[in-house]
Structure 1
Amino acid sequence: MIRLDGQSLTAPLLARIAAGEGVSLDEGALAMVAENRAVVDRIVAEARTVYGINTGFGQFATVVIPPDQLQQLQLNLVRSHAAGVGEPLPKDQTRALMAARINCLLKAHSGIRPEPIRLLADCLNRDVVPVVPSQGSVGASGDLAPLAHMALLLVGEGLAWGPAGLVPGGAALAEAGLAPVVLQAKEGLALINGTQLITALGNLAVARLQRLIPLSDEIAALSLEALRGTRAAFDPRIHAARPHPGQIAVADHMREILGATSAIAESHKDCHRVQDAYSLRCIPQVHGVTRDALAFAGAILERELNAATDNPMIFTDTQESRSGGNFHGQYPAFACDVLAIAAADLASISERRQERLVNPATSDLPAFLTANGGLESGFMMAHVTSAALVSELKGLAQPACVDTIPTSAGKEDHVSMGPIAARKLLRAVDGLEQVLAIEARMALEGVRLVGLAPAAGLDALRGRLSAACAPWTDRPMFEEIQATFRALRDHQEATA
């Protein structure tokens, strides 16, 4: 069980919940939730007019709702805001969404009772997962539509994933031995007002990039050996003179992987070349900035994962409700766009190394990494696939967060488009992983063709790739790429 307390959830932990691990709720945080809820009960009892508790929403904020209609108000809110369209989110992404919302509610500023939070956690632990359409949120006022689809499950409505397909939400709860809740004042709004779709998807991408970015250094090192590149560009003095943390870290990592020398390095130590192409020489500079981007954007997304993003906010100490803008998704949207740019750039330099590997004009290797050129096409089309992926990644790198379309009759006049940023980021990470797999397979074949041992620091990676992929003769390339992809996943697991 992964304990949720509103303040210590991380991207790797969220990824584990998404993959199926259960959650427990911190009892101290739940006690604070109950205290916070008492403020809402007091507001209702005193008949104070407070937005979100006994008024309409958005443009209808001036409409006061009588006490006997407050439950219906909250149910109506959830029903009407469940307006999503498009393909449903995969179950793992929806599980991440649920966990992120639980963690937000445990900050104890939402005015919700513990009961809906417990039910949401029970749904996670029994794998009762709502069907949440992927489109329909502009990322302010929060991810209203996706979270409303999630909230429908808690009141026994909407759809859920069943063993054989989609089932009614109420039936899914009953099958798991769970009962729906009746939403009280403020609780519908508490469930749907926040940035949890952007934040959940962004953190899932972070968890993957935390492994892929260091892996890209290893793959680049294998390419460098296959291309008989020099280690001179990784001299620590060069990088100390331009002290970007990511650049220094990558140069350190490359020296660690490549060691002092190798049989390949010894074979060309007296060659005429004094400088490599940028795709080899500038690995620390290009890979390095992706590390710095991940540090920057990852910190934003982790803070957002442990933030209260509701409106209005309920403050227990002063017994007050205050309206603000924590639901605005610009922070996580901006972070997701930065990471999509980083993924595209990392894939772009990988593709340039691939071109050098298959092009005999830029290496000492046979064309397309086959000794039987003409009869065999070798890795010709693998590079074409990589080029197609990189071109698509460049499109995905176009920021979503700079766009805005005013909604809610102009009240929501600047929105983040964060869910678009988050969804395209995950697509970018998928593409990057495939591009790196293609480079890894090419680099392995290049080293085989050189016929000398590369640096010992590459033994683990080379061993897994070699076990998955026999020396090349023309065969279905897609199977080869898939085998490499799986080998890289295994290598990431082993070195995590």
Structure 2
Amino acid sequence: MPDKKPPSNAPAKPDAGGGERPIAREKTLKSKLYMEPIILGRELLTLDAIRDVVYRGRQIEVHADALVDVERAAQFVGEQAKAGRVIYGVTTGFGANSNTLIAPADMTKLQEKLLLSHACGVGDPFPEEVVRAMICMRINGLLTMHSGARATTVLALASMLNARVHPIIPSQGSVGASGDLCPLAHMGLPLLGLGEVLVDGLRLEGAKGLEICGLAPITLTYKEGIALLNGTQAQTALAFCATHRLRRLADMADAVCAMSLEALCGRGNAFDARLHALRRRAGQMESAAAIRRWTEGSELVDRDPDLMPYKRDRIQDPYSIRCAPQVHGACRDVLAHVEDVVLQESNAVTDNPILFPDAGDIISGGNFHGEPVAMAIDYLKLAIAELANISDRRCFKLLSPELSEGLPAFLVDKPGLDSGLMIAQYVTASLVSDNKVLAHPASVDSIPTSGNKEDHVAMGAQAGVQAFRMLDNSERVIAIELIIAAQALDLRMRLDNARPGFRIAALHKAVREISPFIHQDRRMSFEIEAVASDLVRRDGKPPGWEL
């Protein structure tokens, strides 16, 4: 079989993540006809609402009452600055320069210089879905009486988001406190007609992006620069997008585990609902139920061992099969926890200083510190790693003749002449090993910055970038197991003249449409990437689930 061309939506470079393809402008415009805009500033933002904005191009609007509150805060901080009140980042310099007072004539210039000086990120840009999540969350955080940005500035951000004018934001540069300064500075530059944006795949100057939105460059006043960039939205957006990808990965991990169970004629009693109810863990019960559903109608699971003289595991299967609900379920529980952290942070005020106009107070605090999000992403990284770890072990069992319950070595008819899928498991081993290094918690590291004024930082964005690379790795591991399990299932059906469950049969068919049966050795790289792109990363449940 000739090599396949790489899929058009193959993942980007590892640091940029392997998220979904950008939504075409025509599709976005069509979506407006079917979805009412999400109103920000009226009630708490939900994860479903963020998903609609980020992945489905849903429009946003800002509630009129929220804009009134925004203006009150902007007017309050302006009045206080004019009255000579010392306000960090408004009438003083930033960080280690906080003891330097700024002349009234320079206060506007100060806010612009803040964005310019902090926009020094490097590396691959964030994927567009991360940028969309950042903008949506930042707008939501500004829609209070506590930040000091003007309504016109907030509405300009909303116009950019709705028009799909996405600032180009380098992925390296944040230490997670005072917030994600560097990435958010790049997010704000186009408002001034500076920086760069991505529009329909074209890289344009920031001023051109504003023109597409029908806007002119704005001039920042008083606290607006620091309000734009002093927050946790980069790391929170990374966490949000990582949880979105991990939920799809967990669903496919259950599905491919079920296919491997079928191919090994494994024992179904390990997935009995009564067993899992006794441990009372939601994720475990969900994964066990999913595997039961996938194998419904199977002639292979719980097949009589007496019909299989080659059967090795007659009583109970290895942990990679038998304990899959416990491992996959633990990952689901981690996912639920991190989603809760993301939800709270998406509705938080995380800049500094924070305004309380009704009380006349301006408080310098530390709500920008990303530790809650950084630690959550590090926790998420463990779940990403473990789904791949246990998948690799199932791949190894399916390929090893002494472990695979009668299947040929490396799942090929002529082992020796053909290596079959031997080296595919080398790839899973390599990817799993990379994950183990990346799983080291970023949040335990702290390098003092800004003349030791900022002497403890969170490194949450670093954790997020690592999580994206780990997701790329783990999605490929699950894709390889899909190919190996599909090959093993074909050989099992031929050997035992029995059929899998009807849902697994549908999933098997979907794999075979991308990666045909391996009769003899061929190059597999493009097929692995295609299965990862078209099946593992697809939106919604895996093929066959809804049957």
Same fold (TM over 0.5): yes
Q: Is the contact between residue 142 and residue 193 of structure 1 (CA under 8 Å) also seen in structure 2?
A: yes
Deviations 1:105-163 (A, max 9, x none): 12442111111111111112223222222111100000111111111111111222356
Q: 1:43 to 1:491 in 2, by over 3 A?
A: closer
For 1:453, the aligned partner's letter is R
Q: Is the contact between residue 248 and residue 537 of structure 2 (CA under 8 Å) also seen in structure 1?
A: no
Q: 1:164 to 1:253 in 2, by over 3 A?
A: closer
Q: Is the contact between residue 148 and residue 191 of structure 1 (CA under 8 Å) also seen in structure 2?
A: yes
Q: Mapping of 1:132-281 within 5 angstroms?
A: 132-161=169-198, 166-259=203-296, 262-265=298-301, 267-270=303-306, 273-281=314-322
Q: Is the contact between residue 6 and residue 104 of structure 1 (CA under 8 Å) also seen in structure 2?
A: no
**1:353 paired residue among 388, 391, 394:** 394
For 1:465, the aligned partner's letter is V
State the alpha-carbon separation in 1 of the partners of residues 351 and 102 from structure 2: 20
Is residue 479 from structure 1 mapped to residue 515 from structure 2 by the alignment? no
Residue in structure 1 matched with residue 351 of structure 2 by the alignment? 310
State the alpha-carbon separation in 2 of the partners of residues 176 and 245 from structure 1: 45
The Cα RMSD (Å) is: 2.2
Is residue 111 from structure 1 mapped to residue 111 from structure 2 by the alignment? no
Residue in structure 2 matched with residue 373 of structure 1 by the alignment? 415
State the alpha-carbon separation in 2 of the partners of residues 214 and 36 from structure 1: 45
Is residue 442 from structure 1 mapped to residue 490 from structure 2 by the alignment? no
State the alpha-carbon separation in 1 of the partners of residues 184 and 355 from structure 2: 20
Residue in structure 2 matched with residue 33 of structure 1 by the alignment? 70
Residue in structure 1 matched with residue 361 of structure 2 by the alignment? 320
Unaligned runs of 5+ in 2: 1-36
State the alpha-carbon separation in 2 of the partners of residues 172 and 240 from structure 1: 54
Query: Percent of counterpart pairs with the same letter?
Result: 43
State the alpha-carbon separation in 2 of the partners of residues 121 and 169 from structure 1: 15
Is residue 404 from structure 1 mapped to residue 436 from structure 2 by the alignment? no
Is residue 332 from structure 1 mapped to residue 369 from structure 2 by the alignment? no
Q: Is the contact between residue 192 and residue 217 of structure 2 (CA under 8 Å) also seen in structure 1?
A: yes
State the alpha-carbon separation in 1 of the partners of residues 147 and 539 from structure 2: 42
State the alpha-carbon separation in 1 of the partners of residues 274 and 164 from structure 2: 53
Q: 1:266 to 1:203 in 2, by over 3 A?
A: closer
Q: Is the contact between residue 6 and residue 103 of structure 1 (CA under 8 Å) also seen in structure 2?
A: no
State the alpha-carbon separation in 1 of the partners of residues 228 and 427 from structure 2: 43
Structure 1 range deviating more: 101-110 or 426-435: 101-110
State the alpha-carbon separation in 1 of the partners of residues 69 and 222 from structure 2: 18
State the alpha-carbon separation in 2 of the partners of residues 133 and 487 from structure 1: 29
Unaligned runs of 5+ in 1: none
Residue in structure 1 matched with residue 129 of structure 2 by the alignment? 92
Structure 1 range deviating more: 136-145 or 468-477: 468-477
Q: 1:4 to 1:372 in 2, by over 3 A?
A: farther
Deviations 1:222-272 (A, max 9, x none): 10110111011122333233322222222222223223x621135335567
Q: 1:247 to 1:404 in 2, by over 3 A?
A: same
Is residue 464 from structure 1 mapped to residue 517 from structure 2 by the alignment? no
Q: Is the contact between residue 266 and residue 302 of structure 2 (CA under 8 Å) also seen in structure 1?
A: no
State the alpha-carbon separation in 1 of the partners of residues 252 and 359 from structure 2: 50
Is residue 425 from structure 1 mapped to residue 472 from structure 2 by the alignment? no
Normalising to structure 1: TM-score of the pair?
A: 0.94
2:138 is paired with a residue of what secondary structure? helix
Is residue 384 from structure 1 mapped to residue 384 from structure 2 by the alignment? no
Structure 1 residue 165 displacement after superposition: 5.0
Q: Is the contact between residue 96 and residue 200 of structure 1 (CA under 8 Å) also seen in structure 2?
A: yes
Q: 1:373 to 1:7 in 2, by over 3 A?
A: farther
State the alpha-carbon separation in 1 of the partners of residues 334 and 506 from structure 2: 28
Q: Is the contact between residue 139 and residue 328 of structure 1 (CA under 8 Å) also seen in structure 2?
A: yes
Q: 1:378 to 1:491 in 2, by over 3 A?
A: farther
State the alpha-carbon separation in 2 of the partners of residues 98 and 289 from structure 1: 32
State the alpha-carbon separation in 1 of the partners of residues 488 and 445 from structure 2: 44
Q: 1:491 to 1:121 in 2, by over 3 A?
A: closer
Residue in structure 2 matched with residue 454 of structure 1 by the alignment? 500
State the alpha-carbon separation in 1 of the partners of residues 322 and 426 from structure 2: 24
Is residue 492 from structure 1 mapped to residue 540 from structure 2 by the alignment? yes
Deviations 1:10-64 (A, max 9, x none): 4454344344613322333222212222321331343322222222222222222
For 1:471, the aligned partner's letter is F
Deviations 1:343-379 (A, max 9, x none): 1111000000000011111012111111122332211
1:265 is paired with a residue of what secondary structure? coil
